[in-house]
């Protein structure tokens, strides 16, 4: 059962802790970002057993209240992916997820420009923009993906939403946007071969999951 079916559990609490907008409205994911499904991720017959650590940030500053919901949702997503099984002890290594809730006033305008949303829609939307970094350490070596971005928009009032957009209750927004970013990171690591080899290479950073390698770890 993927997180889409379990996302309601605890989502109301998470939405108040993590989201920048607080009233119960209809939300939808940013349309200019790639969509990833669980079927796009290759499950392992024996998932990596890794200790999970997380850090939730707001504008680059640690926001401790967000750590528990972030860890709970991340653990669900990783289990459902079939790639990593979060464990208490550092049996095979560690996975660290850092999620930054950023103030990005330009995101809505950029979405409108890329997708053709009318200006009246932009004026009645609140956006929570996020940036994710993921680090996986095994056998003394680390791979990572940083700068993976996504956004969730919340419609205000009785505004109409285009038929091409799939809205959902606002309290599901955090889980859905986090799911997309984690699956993108895992999929990119699999595509590069880093999560299927018996030994992992030295630290490699692909900013934003674009497939362009850059030396060093950020």
Q: How far is CA 140 from CA 84, 185, 215, in A?
A: 17, 20, 18
Identify whether 60 is part of a domain.
yes
Identify whether 16 is part of a domain.
yes
pLDDT of residue 112: 55
Tell me the C-alpha distance between 80 and 100, whole Å.
23
pTM over 0.85: no
Domain that holds residue 54: 3-212
Number of domains in the chain: 1
Q: How many Cβ atoms from other residues are within 10 Å of residue 61's Cβ?
A: 7
Identify whether 37 is part of a domain.
yes
pLDDT of residue 63: 96
Identify whether 217 is part of a domain.
no
Average pLDDT over residues 91-118: 72
Average pLDDT over residues 125-132: 87
Identify whether 83 is part of a domain.
yes
Tell me the C-alpha distance between 17 and 66, whole Å.
6
Identify whether 70 is part of a domain.
yes
């Amino acid at each position: 059962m993927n997180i889409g079916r379990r996302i309601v559990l605890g989502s109301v609490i998470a939405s108040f802790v993590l989201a920048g907008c607080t009233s119960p409205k209809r939300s939808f994911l940013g349309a200019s970002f790639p969509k990833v499904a669980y079927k796009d991720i290759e499950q392992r017959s024996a998932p990596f057993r890794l200790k999970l650590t997380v850090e939730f940030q707001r504008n680059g500053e640690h926001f401790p209240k967000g750590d528990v919901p972030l860890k709970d949702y991340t653990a669900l997503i990783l289990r459902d992916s079939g790639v990593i099984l979060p464990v208490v002890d550092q049996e095979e290594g560690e996975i660290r997820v850092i999620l930054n809730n950023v103030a990005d006033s330009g995101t809505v305008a950029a979405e409108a420009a890329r997708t053709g949303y009318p200006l009246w829609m932009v004026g009645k939307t609140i956006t929570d923009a996020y940036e994710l970094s993921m680090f996986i350490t095994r056998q003394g070596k680390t791979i990572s993906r940083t700068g993976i971005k996504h956004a969730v928009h919340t419609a205000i009032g009785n505004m109409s939403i285009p038929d091409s957009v799939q809205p959902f209750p606002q309290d599901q927004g955090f889980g859905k946007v986090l799911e997309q970013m984690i699956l993108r990171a895992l999929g990119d690591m699999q595509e590069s071969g880093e999560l299927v080899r018996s030994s992992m290479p030295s630290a490699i950073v692909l900013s934003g999951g674009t497939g362009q390698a850059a030396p060093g770890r950020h």
